[in-house]
Amino acid sequence: MDFTLTKEQEMFRDMAKEFAEREVVPSVQERDREERFFPEIMQKMANQGFFAIKVPQEMGGLGLDWTTMGLVAEQIAAVDFSVALTFYIQTSLEIMPILIAGTEEQKKKFIPDLMTGKKIGCLAAVEPNAGSDATSVQTTAVPDGNEWVLNGNKSWITNATVSDYSVVLAQADKSKGTKGIATFIVENGMPGYSKTKISHKLGCRSSDTGQLFFRDCRIPKDNLLGAIGKGMATALQCIEFTRFGISCMAVGVTQACIDASIKYALERKQFGRPIGSNQLIQEQIADMIVGNEASRWLSYHVAYMKDQGITSTRETGIAKYHNMDVAMKATRTALEIHGAYALTDDFPMERFYRDMTGPLIFGGTANVQRLVIGRFALGIDAFR
Ligand SMILES: Cc1cc2nc3c(=O)[nH]c(=O)nc-3n(C[C@H](O)[C@H](O)[C@H](O)COP(=O)(O)OP(=O)(O)OC[C@H]3O[C@@H](n4cnc5c(N)ncnc54)[C@H](O)[C@@H]3O)c2cc1C
């Protein structure tokens, strides 16, 4: 297997790194403090072509691969996880469901504006009583003439209050269970649709998270996205893309922890010499490096499989589980190496530490990844 990056992949990686330093770093501390979203950065990312990476060329996109998506996510996450997440899910949870399940009309209507950053979307699967078990959605969709009528609540939805529309998972035929679930596009301003922001999150503060409410919400028949019964499969496919992205972002965060820890360990003197002279500090840094080397190759392997069209549910679960574990440990180690100074937001360590609590949960918790891996190993589905 050859993981040598192409010139184009290297170019996107370097462009993302330069972009992150120039456009994301200057406001990161303030946005985190103020829990402020970043429409100006979204537009600049669109101008760089970042939202067009997975859009086919015949639709005006770049038609590139998941490896490129992963490399860009990794570089942005190394400075700001909130921006990296929003970059990534504009493709994985907004563009992809429409590319996978949309009609030609829906693609023409939504993709150009998403690709150029004029519109932001969100994907709403999780509900107050349907978290890890997304199949237990209680939001209903009932046909009525030329419309669908939606009722229910969605919670913990990324981009909820900044989005122009949401792709909503709802039960259209309860008698069929999971096979009755469908996805619908609900646009802002449709009657009975409202949202509210979730504030004061521990991490990912600059990323928008909120709740969506549907109260006899009427949407046109044409806003059904894909066939009834296919909604769960589409959502799971897109969540798997997101899992892969999180595994790449974890690599970026861990690398940032390594780089900052090395720099600080060489500068900070205690007992008359740099703290990096101590074997215990070197051991801590070496462990982060070993962990991230494994993380990087796990995520590149998943990227390779996705780009080859090879099913990678198991490998994506392994990468997400492993890389998040390594990243969480690395943020703690980096915090420790930076001593008391790490507790202020003059250093990014405390933000990295807090931010990792978000992706530990979304995209499927560590336990959910374990059960995916266990299902492949034992042939027993522990979810049932
Ligand atoms: C910042 C943030 C952004 C998010 N963005 C989105 C989004 O854009 N769209 C969306 O739809 N959702 C989103 N979510 C929701 C996220 O997907 C869910 O929080 C996640 O799936 C877990 O669900 P839960 O929080 O209800 O936990 P629960 O499912 O209630 O789980 C609680 C605990 O029980 C464990 N557990 C549950 N079932 C089992 C089992 N069978 N075996 C062993 N352990 C189990 C879990 O691992 C976890 O530790 C987001 C969440 C956060 C925090």
49: left (phi over 0), alpha (psi -120 to 50) or beta: left
Assigned domain for 1 exists: no
Question: Could you list the residue range(s) of the whole structural domain that residue 220 is in?
Answer: 122-229
Say if residues 356 and 321 touch (Cβ distance below 8 Å).
Answer: no
Q: Global pTM?
A: 0.97
Compute, in angstroms, the gap from residue 360 CA to the centroid of ligand 1. Answer: 9
Nearest CA to ligand 1 atom 17: 362
Residue 44, Cβ neighbours under 10 Å: how many? 16
Compute, in angstroms, the gap from residue 290 CA to the centroid of ligand 1. Answer: 29
Q: Among 229, 255, 270, give the residue marking a domain's end.
A: 229
Residues 222-248: tens digit of each pLDDT: 999 999 999 999 999 999 999 999 999
| Cα separation, 266 vs 288, whole angstroms | 16
Q: Say whether 189 sits in a helix, a strand or coil.
A: coil
Assigned domain for 2 exists: no
Place of tokens 């080397």: 293
Compute, in angstroms, the gap from residue 132 CA to the centroid of ligand 1. Answer: 5
- DSSP code of residue 6: P
Residues 346, 243 share a domain:
yes
Assigned domain for 104 exists: yes
Compute φ and ψ for 219, nearest 5 degrees: -125, 150
Residues 148, 86 share a domain:
no
Confidence at 135, pLDDT banded by 50, 70, 90: confident
Compute, in angstroms, the gap from residue 124 CA to the centroid of ligand 1. Answer: 13
Assigned domain for 383 exists: no
Assigned token pair, 42: 């979204």
Pocket flag, ligand 1, residue 137 (CB < 6 Å): no
Torsion angle defined by CA atoms of residues 278, 280, 286 and 290, in that order, rounded to the nearest 10 degrees:
180
Confidence at 212, pLDDT banded by 50, 70, 90: very high
Pocket flag, ligand 1, residue 123 (CB < 6 Å): yes
In this prediction, what percent of the chain has a pLDDT beyond 90? 97
Assigned domain for 384 exists: no
Q: What is the CATH number of the domain that holds 158?
A: 2.40.110.10
Compute, in angstroms, the gap from residue 367 CA to the centroid of ligand 1. Answer: 10
Nearest C-alpha neighbor of 301 from the set 240, 247, 354: 247
Compute, in angstroms, the gap from residue 62 CA to the centroid of ligand 1. Answer: 33
Assigned domain for 189 exists: yes
Pocket flag, ligand 1, residue 130 (CB < 6 Å): no
Q: Among 213, 229, 245, give the residue marking a domain's end.
A: 229
Torsion angle defined by CA atoms of residues 310, 315, 320 and 326, in that order, rounded to the nearest 10 degrees:
-130
Pocket flag, ligand 1, residue 368 (CB < 6 Å): yes
Assigned domain for 341 exists: yes
Q: What is the mean pLDDT of the chain?
A: 97
Residues 24-74: tens digit of each pLDDT: 999 999 999 999 999 999 999 999 999 999 999 999 999 999 999 999 999
Q: What is the CATH number of the domain that holds 64?
A: 1.10.540.10
Q: Which of 89, 132, 202, 383 to mutate to test the pocket of ligand 1 (most atoms within 8 A of CB)?
A: 132
**Closest-lying ligand 1 atom to the alpha carbon of residue 126:** 11
Q: Which residues contact 290 (CB under 8 A, 6 or more apart)?
A: none
Pocket flag, ligand 1, residue 181 (CB < 6 Å): no
Q: Which of 127, 362, 371 to mutate to test the pocket of ligand 1 (most atoms within 8 A of CB)?
A: 362
Q: Is the pLDDT of residue 19 over 90?
A: yes
Compute, in angstroms, the gap from residue 127 CA to the centroid of ligand 1. Answer: 10
* Segment 138-148 mean pLDDT: 97
Compute, in angstroms, the gap from residue 362 CA to the centroid of ligand 1. Answer: 6
Q: Among 91, 120, 149, give the residue marking a domain's end.
A: 120
Pocket flag, ligand 1, residue 374 (CB < 6 Å): no
Residues 369, 238 share a domain:
yes
Confidence at 134, pLDDT banded by 50, 70, 90: confident
**What b/e readout covers 17-32, taking b as 16+ CB neighbours within 10 angstroms?**
bebbeebbeebbbebb
Q: Which residues contact 302 (CB under 8 A, 6 or more apart)?
A: 66, 244, 247, 312, 315, 316, 319
Q: Is the pLDDT of residue 250 over 90?
A: yes
* Segment 116-132 mean pLDDT: 96
- DSSP code of residue 224: E
pLDDT in the model for residue 131: 95
pLDDT in the model for residue 3: 86
Nearest CA to ligand 1 atom 53: 358
Residues 259, 132 share a domain:
no
Residues 272, 153 share a domain:
no
Nearest CA to ligand 1 atom 45: 367
Nearest C-alpha neighbor of 12 from the set 42, 49, 43: 49
Assigned token pair, 242: 């997101």
Residues 221, 238 share a domain:
no
| Cα separation, 375 vs 384, whole angstroms | 11
pLDDT in the model for residue 2: 81
Domain tally, the chain: 3
In this prediction, what percent of the chain has a pLDDT beyond 70? 100
Confidence at 1, pLDDT banded by 50, 70, 90: confident
Pocket flag, ligand 1, residue 365 (CB < 6 Å): yes
Residue 100, Cβ neighbours under 10 Å: how many? 16
Residue 290, Cβ neighbours under 10 Å: how many? 11
Pocket flag, ligand 1, residue 162 (CB < 6 Å): no
Nearest CA to ligand 1 atom 44: 367
Residue 154 vs residues 129, 176, 210: alpha-carbon distances, Å: 9, 21, 8
Q: Is the pLDDT of residue 384 over 90?
A: no
Residue type, 82: S
Say if residues 167 and 122 touch (Cβ distance below 8 Å).
Answer: yes
Nearest CA to ligand 1 atom 7: 157
Residues 272-282: tens digit of each pLDDT: 999 999 999 99
**Closest-lying ligand 1 atom to the alpha carbon of residue 201:** 1
> Which segments of the chain are extended strands (E)?
121-124, 140-144, 147-158, 165-171, 181-187, 193-197, 209-220, 224-225, 269-270, 273-274
